[in-house]
């Protein structure tokens, strides 16, 4: 029975880990991000070390860290000029795209990971987006995905941070990733990959919990669980605000 248990454990152990004896010991400055009414973004410090059972190999070690927000379908539309008016024309629904995605590396992207390993683990921004198919009449479907990436990069929702991980003595590593203000709630999957010569030799996964708190949380829950009450309250606030502004303007005019 002991032999069978040992054999079963060996089958479950990745061959890369057996070959290199290297694994990640990770730390986070915070595993929870709280969104309040004054929330304007957060910087997550990710640090850790590489635990080894064997001497450091001669090939240089590289590290990749990714943080991915919850994925949702996204409709990407392309505008066209129709009779002098710009209107929505063609559209493609991307099956799943992370609401936030950041990739940090120790070096240049092409030096730290091969295309084959990227395809296997879906690490790069383009590979993290799942787009299965497109309407037959749209022949340039990849351009829609590229447009989505470009828009979210401009909003800092997608980040490619080459060379932003500091690695000391092939053992200690650290990086900081800025998370913007317009985050959505959910579990943000965090992955750390150790690579040598472009091949993944070990990986580690954890999560960062992003939640609304305080008044922001109360309003969010109210809008979902009591939409009628939320609507009436919003209407009442709008009426009061409008009346207050009108009264203030009238008072100033009568002076």
Task: Please check whether residues 146 and 248 belong to one and the same domain.
Answer: no
- Residue 186 sits in the same domain as residue 154: yes
Mean pLDDT of 50-54: 85
Same domain for 205 and 221: no
Q: Binning pLDDT at 50, 70 and 90, where does residue 7 land?
A: very low
| Whole-angstrom distance, CA of residue 189 vs CA of residue 47 | 16
Does residue 67 lie in a domain region?
yes
Q: Is the domain of 191 the same as that of 94?
A: yes
CA gap 161, 67 in Å, rounded: 12
How is residue 221 written in tokens? 């829950």
* pTM summary value: 0.71
Please determine, for residue 48, whether its predicted confidence score (pLDDT) is greater than 60.
yes
Residues forming beta bridges with residue 193, ordered by sequence position: 64, 203
Angle between helices 227-253 and 214-225 (to 10 degrees): 120
Mean per-residue pLDDT of the chain = 77
Q: Is 103 in contact with 123 (CB distance < 8 Å)?
A: yes
14: pLDDT strictly greater than 70:
no
Q: What's the confidence (pLDDT) of residue 40? A: 55
The verdict on residue 1 lying in a domain is no
- The pLDDT-based confidence of 157 (bands split at 50, 70, 90) is very high
Band (10; pLDDT cuts 50, 70, 90): very low
Q: Which domain holds residue 65?
A: 12-212
Is the domain of 164 the same as that of 220?
Answer: no
| Count of domains for the chain | 2
Q: What pLDDT shows up at residue 39?
A: 53
Q: Are residues 189 and 241 in the same domain?
A: no
Query: Where residue 206 sits, what CATH number does that domain have?
Result: 2.60.40.3880
Identify the weakest region by mean pLDDT among 40-54, 145-159, 193-207.
40-54
Q: Quick one: pLDDT at residue 195? A: 94
Task: Judge whether 4 lies within some domain.
Answer: no
Q: Are residues 207 and 227 in the same domain?
A: no
Residues 224 and 119 placed together within one structural domain of the fold: no
CA pair distance 183, 68, nearest whole angstrom: 11
Residue 170: the pLDDT is 87
* Pair 227, 182 in one domain: no
CA distances from 132 to 73, 89, 145, 146, 225 (A): 11, 21, 11, 15, 34
- Pairing between β-strand 172-179 and β-strand 42-52 as defined by DSSP bridges: antiparallel
Q: Which residues pair with 34 in a beta bridge?
A: 211
Q: Are residues 122 and 155 in the same domain?
A: yes
> What are the C-alpha distances in Å from 215 to residues 34, 37, 190, 218, 233?
12, 7, 28, 5, 14
The string of pLDDT tens digits covering residues 111-129 is 999 999 999 999 999 999 8
The reply to whether 70 and 164 lie within a common domain is yes
Greatest mean pLDDT range, 10-24, 130-144, 174-188, 189-203 = 189-203
81-104 tens-digit pLDDT = 676 677 667 777 788 899 999 999
Residue 202 lies in a domain: yes
List the Cα angle 176/180/185 in 5-degree steps. 105
Note the pLDDT tens digit of each residue in 171-228: 889 998 888 877 888 889 999 999 999 999 999 998 888 876 555 554 555 565 667 6
User: Does residue 155 share a domain with residue 87?
Assistant: yes
């Amino acid at each position: 029975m002991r032999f069978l248990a040992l054999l079963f454990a060996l089958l479950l152990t990745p061959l890369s880990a057996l070959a290199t004896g290297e694994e990640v010991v990770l730390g986070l400055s915070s595993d929870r991000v709280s969104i309040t009414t004054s929330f304007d973004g957060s910087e997550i410090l990710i640090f850790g070390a590489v635990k080894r059972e064997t001497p450091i190999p001669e090939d240089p070690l590289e590290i990749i860290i990714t943080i991915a927000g919850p994925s949702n379908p996204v409709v990407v539309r392309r505008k066209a000029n129709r009779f002098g008016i710009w209107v929505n024309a063609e559209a493609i629904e991307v099956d799943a795209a992370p609401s936030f995605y950041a990739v940090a590396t120790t070096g240049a992207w092409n030096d730290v990971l091969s295309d084959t390993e990227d395809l296997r683990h879906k690490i790069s921004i383009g590979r993290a987006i799942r787009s299965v198919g497109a309407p037959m009449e749209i022949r340039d479907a990849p351009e829609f995905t590229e447009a989505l990436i470009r828009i979210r990069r401009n909003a800092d929702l997608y980040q490619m941070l080459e060379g932003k991980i500091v690695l000391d003595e092939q053992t200690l590593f650290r990086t900081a990733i800025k998370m913007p203000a317009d985050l959505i709630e959910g579990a943000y999957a965090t992955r750390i990959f150790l690579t040598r010569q472009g091949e993944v030799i070990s990986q580690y996964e954890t999560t960062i919990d992003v939640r609304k708190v305080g008044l922001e949380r109360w309003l969010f829950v109210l809008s979902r669980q009591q939409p009628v009450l939320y609507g009436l309250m919003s209407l009442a606030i709008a009426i009061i605000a409008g009346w207050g502004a009108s009264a203030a303007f009238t008072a100033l005019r009568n002076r």
